[in-house]
Amino acid sequence: MCRSSRTLIVAVLMTVLAALPVGPTAAARRDGIANVAHRGASAHAPENTIGAFRLAARMGADLFELDVRETRDHALVLMHDTTLARTTDVESVYPERAPWRVSDFTLKEIRRLDAGSWFGSAFKGARVPTLREALRAMRRTGLGLLLEIKAPHLYPGIERRTALELRRSWEGPLVVQSFDWDAMRAFHGLMPEVPVGLLGTPPAGELPGLASFAVQINPPYRDLTPGYVRAIHAHGMQVFTWTADDPVVMRRLAAYRVDGIITNRPDVLARL
């Protein structure tokens, strides 16, 4: 890993944590564990919506996580799944357009969708945000951003377009992650100043090579052992693990000395 990347990620966390008010987040800060709201406070509000991100800020998160995909006309929008079916009313608005892939719709078409009602009637009318809308809504909140690029092989050029948007619309702490490690290597070439995270659980033997461009290894929590966390740290990288909502699990992960916990319930982690 290059020294500038390592310095940056430490600066990211220090900036975020230093800015926190006293209160429920103080415990997390003392432990040095970043509280990362997974798709926003997604246990309480529809995932990947601006409402979920704002709620995460109110619940004491340090960072918010989001998922970026691309429309047919190359707009960057926030959506976890390959299709729009689970988290919008696309099936009733466009019944003839199965299987409702994000990449088959224009931004104008996606703007007609309701991304809130599936979660609860109180959220009716929530929209699928563009990346730009989310960045601009959140950039003065003090939260850091953990941005996941979803399935970059489906959206050629998404790394470059994401980098452009980040340069234009985001000023705060930032980590960019993906399950596609080659895409992250490419992103590191585009924005070497931005810390890169790798989702998954690489074998310990691969950590030295990955540390040449990544600053985080971010595995599912069930894959973690204290020894694996130590191995990642020994290569100068951090561990943000996902998705832990149970306080018993959160405490165990804290004992493993992870650097961040990605949770649908940032309020629960903040209270620990």
Return all residues near 199 (Cβ < 8 A) that are at least 6 apart: 148, 177, 178, 179, 218, 219
**Minimum distance between the CB of residue 92 and ligand G3P, rounded to whole angstroms?**
25
Closest CA to 258 of 62, 66, 11, 31: 31
**Minimum distance between the CB of residue 22 and ligand G3P, rounded to whole angstroms?**
27
**Minimum distance between the CB of residue 111 and Ca ion, rounded to whole angstroms?**
22
For residue 65, give the 3-state DSSP assignment: strand
Residue 115 is a binding residue for ligand G3P (CB under 6 A) = no
**C-alpha to C-alpha distance for 173 and 195, rounded to whole angstroms:** 10
Tell me the two tokens of residue 73: 């006309």
- Pair 206, 182: CB distance under 8 Å: no
Residues of this chain, 15-74, that bind ligand G3P according to CB under 6 A: 38, 65, 67
* 235 tagged catalytic: no
Residue 180 is a binding residue for Ca ion (CB under 5 A) = no
Return all residues near 18 (Cβ < 8 A) that are at least 6 apart: none
Binding mask 194-223 for ligand G3P (x = CB under 6 A): -----x------------------------
Q: Is 111 exposed, middle or buried (0-12, 13-18, 19+ CB in 10 A)?
A: middle
Q: Which is nearer to ligand G3P, 94 or 269 (CB)?
A: 269
* 233 tagged catalytic: no
Residue 224 is a binding residue for ligand G3P (CB under 6 A) = no
Residue 242 is a binding residue for ligand G3P (CB under 6 A) = yes
- Residues of this chain that interact with Ca ion (CB under 5 A) are 67, 148
- Residues of this chain that interact with ligand G3P (CB under 6 A) are 38, 65, 67, 80, 148, 199, 242, 262
